[in-house]
Structure 1
Amino acid sequence: MSIESLLVPLGIALFAIPAIDLFRELFQPGGRGGIGHLVARIVWRVLRAPARRSPLIASLTGPIILLLTLAAWLGLSVLGWALMLTPAMNGSAFVGHEAGGAFVDALYLSLVTISTLGFGDVVPDADWARLIVPLEALFGLGVAAGSISWLFNVQTVLSHRSTLATRIAMLEAAEGGTPDTLPIEQLDRSEALVMDLASHLASVHADLVHVPISYWFKTGEDRHSLPEQLAWLVHLADRCTVARDPIVRLHGGVLRRQLDGTLRDVAHEFLHLPRDTPSGEVLAAWRRDHSIAGA
């Protein structure tokens, strides 16, 4: 069996990796692509220490992970398509220049096709190759559209997270640093406050599950940082769970369970801690992971 006969199946396998990963990341609810996860871990290992000292580096960590993930998807896709097209390039038609090496020409054709530039100066001679080249262009359009949607999703998630953190910070400032003065024994007021906070936290939790890359986007201001503000929410939930009114205790229990669920997933998915790690330890680790010296 010749090496050339292996190029097409090898190219298909190589293309399938980013295609499946992209589908899981962008279109499967709760899906998490392996490429993005690997890129995030590598980038965070490299930038973790400098990010804690520099707000600028911390703010760039998430965008760098996002861009490198997109680059990995596109790079593997281009290489996979180039390998598939290489056997069909020996008899290709070339406009305005001499034919180069088969793989180089296939790589060039793959690049201009996936970017939808379509110069048309290189045309494979094989019928099957001419049929699949438009499929690569369609895939390139899909990646572009999906990437834009992904970016908007990330921005929406960050807005939700920052809004909740800012709201908690405002409550903390209004109540002198602790929730002890909140009138939680008054059902009409405690219900609206505690249940609304639990609902917003549930939304942020779902955002982290559905758009995990958002975890790596950090803020240099404590009032916008959710892990910096959650301690106040834990205090509020604990106080509600020991209130005299059973409805207030119920609401406090709902908030407490939502806090525990969020922290369990953060521990397992991002901090690589056991799910049964105490919530206080998880919150402390999360705060350290997002901390910036002097912030």
Structure 2
Amino acid sequence: MDGVFTVLGLGLVGFGLYDVFRGLLYPSGRGTISYWVLRSVWRLSRGTNHRWGSLAGPLGVVIVIVLWGMLQAFGWALVYYPHVPEGFYYAEGMDPGNYDNFAEALYISLVTLGTLGFGDVVPTGAWLRFVSPVEALIGFALLTATLSWFTQIYPALARRRALAVRLRALQSVAYADRVAFLDRTGAHRTLDQLTADIVDVHVALVQNAESYYFREVKEDAALAVSLPYAMEIAARAQEAPAEEVRLSGVMLSSAVSDFGQHLREEFHGAGESTEEVLGAYATDHGYRAGPGGRGERSRD
């Protein structure tokens, strides 16, 4: 029976570590836990018309981190459980008979995982003295990984917001209506920069899929609202007399279409044309795409 607890515990530890690896370190990958937790929290938020505002994404990430920690804590507790209290030395004045064995194993696991080092309970068995530092190293690595996760998410969100604000600025001066008549060099440069920005945001979303579930507080910073205007710019640019402007328009349209295809396949799964996909993107984030890419708060 002791072996069953050990195998089950190591299985939980291994699954948790693999999920962290898939979620944070594997390129374009996502962990099972992070995938289901974030989707579930997002669906709950969407079901209330996003009354939580921008809390869905951060809340989902926190829940994922807690679950990762619980997998490690309970997994190592199962490993220690068959050896409590015989395999541990208790500080003077402590009577192991006063504590439930599994609760004590969980306490030892939590203290070790958190690298707290109270010294009130110390492993004495040879192999226990070996695995305890391993758990401590895993706890330190998990803390570092979760901090790194936040440093990956928020730069991706910043790039997304910057693109949304830039599209809003272009929309405010009716850039799509003027692009075909502007100086070819300036128009070409602006279109190519927009294409590069959209590709950058697309790649960031592939590498940080969880950033999709972060909803913007202000509509002006919501890419889900402003992205359709990039398609309008691209369509008007393809009517320009200058060949390089037309080519840049085609590239911009292709970049938006590729981004939309990724959104449909990986997230909301709705729409056939790029316009429909982008409209579904806006709806999924609690907005309704209006004329010219202007967003209106969804009341559905």
Question: For residues 31 and 184 of structure 2, what CA distance do their matches in structure 1 show?
Answer: 44
2:65 maps to 1:70: yes
Q: Out of 6, 19, 22, which is 2:20 matched to?
A: 22
Within 5 Å, give how 1:1-295 maps onto structure 2: 3-52=1-50, 54=51, 57-91=52-86, 92-95=88-91, 96-99=93-96, 100-175=99-174, 179-183=176-180, 186-273=183-270, 277-291=272-286, 293=297
One-letter code of the match for 1:165? A
Question: What is the one-letter code of the residue matched to 1:251?
Answer: S
In structure 1, distance between residues paired with 2:280 and 2:298: 18
**For 2:39 and 2:158, how far apart are their aligned partners in 1?**
24
SS at match of 1:59: coil
CA distance in 1, matches of 2:49, 2:112: 38
Number of equivalenced pairs = 286
- Equivalents in 2 of 1:140, 1:19: separation in Å? 11
- Whether the 8 Å contact between 1:185 and 1:248 is mirrored in structure 2 is no
2:185 maps to a residue whose letter is D
Measure, in 2, the Cα distance between the counterparts of 1:73 and 1:282: 33
Which structure has more RCO (C-alpha within 8 Å, separation ≥ 6)?
A: 1
* Per-residue deviation, 1:16: 1.2
RMSD across aligned C-alpha pairs, in angstroms?
1.8
Distance change (3 Å), C-alpha of 1:118 and 1:273 = farther
Structure 2: state its 5+ residue gaps. Answer: 288-296
Check the 8 A contact 2:13/2:72 in 1, yes or no: yes
Deviation of 1:189 (Å)? 1.0
Shift in Å at residue 5 of structure 1?
A: 1.5
Q: Any idea what SS the aligned residue of 1:228 has?
A: helix
The Cα of 1:185 is off from its aligned counterpart by 5.7
Distance across 1 between alignment mates of 2:83 and 2:187: 70
**What's the CA shift for 1:273?**
4.0
Change in CA separation of 1:212 and 1:294 when aligned onto 2, cut-off 3 Å: closer
SS of residue in 2 equivalent to 1:181: helix
Q: What SS does structure 1 have at the residue aligned with 2:28?
A: coil
CA distance in 1: counterparts of 2:172 and 2:83, whole angstroms = 68
**TM-score for both structures, normalised by structure 2:** 0.90
Conservation of the 8 A alpha-carbon contact between 2:286 and 2:298: no
